[in-house]
Structure 1
Amino acid sequence: MTPISIIRHPKERRSKCSLTPLEGREDIAFYRARENWSFDMTGFTVLALGAPELSAADAGRPLLLLDSTWRLLPQLEACLYGEGVRRTLPAVATAYPRVSKIAQDPHGGLASVEALYLAKLLLGERDDSLLESYYWRESFLFELKARGLLL
């Protein structure tokens, strides 16, 4: 099973975060970024935009997910050092009904739990328990099936 590390932006609201129900799982380590804090991403697969697409060939490395609004994401990325392997996810429509008055999400921008589920699926480790508490679970799974990513 792939170890998972999640770094949260300090302004990320846990009450609205799709990953909050996963806290306490032994296979997921949560970190809260803060001033003068850093994380060595060496050896990790880091989910990022504008990188080669994640595939089963990336299996075997721990997975790093940055949990933040798109606008604040550069602040989290600035905390990273070392040599990680950046990968992106295929463009899939999110089921999460978000509305931002400040910035538009990039095409394919997923809720954090959706991104984690899809990453594990692409690595060959389907884990439906990740979506157990996700309100929009069925809509998201329907989208993955329609895209041929889930049987």
Structure 2
Amino acid sequence: MTPISIIRHPKERRSKCSLTPLEGRQDVQFYRARENWSFDMTGFTVLGLGAPQLSAEDAGRPLLLLDSTWRLLPQLEACLYGEGVRRTLPAVATAYPRVSKIAEDPHGGLASVEALYLAKLLLGERDDALLDAYYWRDNFLNTLIDAQILSQ
């Protein structure tokens, strides 16, 4: 089972975060970024945009997910140091009905729990329990089936 580390932006609201139900899982470690804090990403697969697509060949490294709004993401990126392996996810429509009054989400911008689920799926570790508390679970799974990423 791939270990998962999640770094949250200090302004990320836990009450609205799709990852909050995963707190307490043995395979998931949460960190809260703060001023003058840093994280060594050496040896991690780091999910982000503009990198080669994640695949089964990336299995074996722990997974690092940055949990933030798109607008604040550069602040989390600035906390990282070391040599991680950056990967991106295939463009899939989110099922999360978000509306930003400040900025538009990039194409392929998923809710954090959707990104984590898809990453584990692509690594060959389907884990439906990640979506147990996700309200839009069925819509998201149907999106993955329609995109031929997930079979029924």
TM range (shorter): over 0.9
Shift of 1:99: 0.3
Query: What's the counterpart of residue 14 of structure 1?
Result: 14
| SS of residue matched to 1:46 | strand
User: Which residue type is aligned with residue 5 of structure 2?
Assistant: S
Cα distance between partner residues in 2 of 1:43 and 1:27:
17
Q: Give, in whole Å, the separation in 2 of the partners of 1:136 and 1:92.
A: 14
Q: Are 1:97 and 2:94 matched, yes or no?
A: no
Cα deviation, residue 110, structure 1: 0.1
Query: Percent identity, aligned pairs only?
Result: 87
Q: How does 1:46-65 map to 2 (within 5 A)?
A: 46-65=46-65
Q: Distance in 2 between matches of 1:51 and 1:58?
A: 13
Q: Distance in 1 between matches of 2:125 and 2:42?
A: 22
Q: Which amino acid aligns with 1:10?
A: P
> Once the 2 structures are TM-superposed, how far is the Cα of residue 74 of structure 1 from its aligned partner?
0.1
* CA–CA separation in structure 2 for the residues paired with 1:92 and 1:48: 14
Q: Tell me what 1:144 maps to.
A: 144
The CA deviation at 1:130 is 0.1
Residue 100 of structure 1: CA displacement? 0.2
Per the TM alignment, residue 52 of structure 1 is displaced from its structure 2 partner at its CA by: 0.2
Give the whole-Å Cα distance in 1 for the aligned partners of 2:59 and 2:107.
25
TM-score normalised by L of structure 1: 1.00
Q: How far apart in 2 are the matches of 1:107 and 1:148?
A: 18
The alignment covers a number of residue pairs equal to: 151
Counterpart Cα distance in 1 of 2:117 and 2:53? 15
Unaligned runs of 5+ in 2: none
Aligned partner of 2:44 in structure 1 is 44
Q: Which position in structure 1 is the counterpart of 2:24?
A: 24
Q: Distance in 1 between matches of 2:134 and 2:119?
A: 16
Question: Following the alignment from structure 2 to structure 1, what is the Cα–Cα distance between the partners of residues 27 and 41?
Answer: 17
Letter in 2 for 1:101: K
Is 1:4–2:21 an aligned residue pair? Answer: no
Distance in 2 of aligned mates of 1:23 and 1:61: 21
- State the Cα distance separating 1:31 from its structure 2 match: 0.1
Runs of 4 or more off by more than 3 Å in structure 1?
none
* Pairwise CA RMSD: 0.2
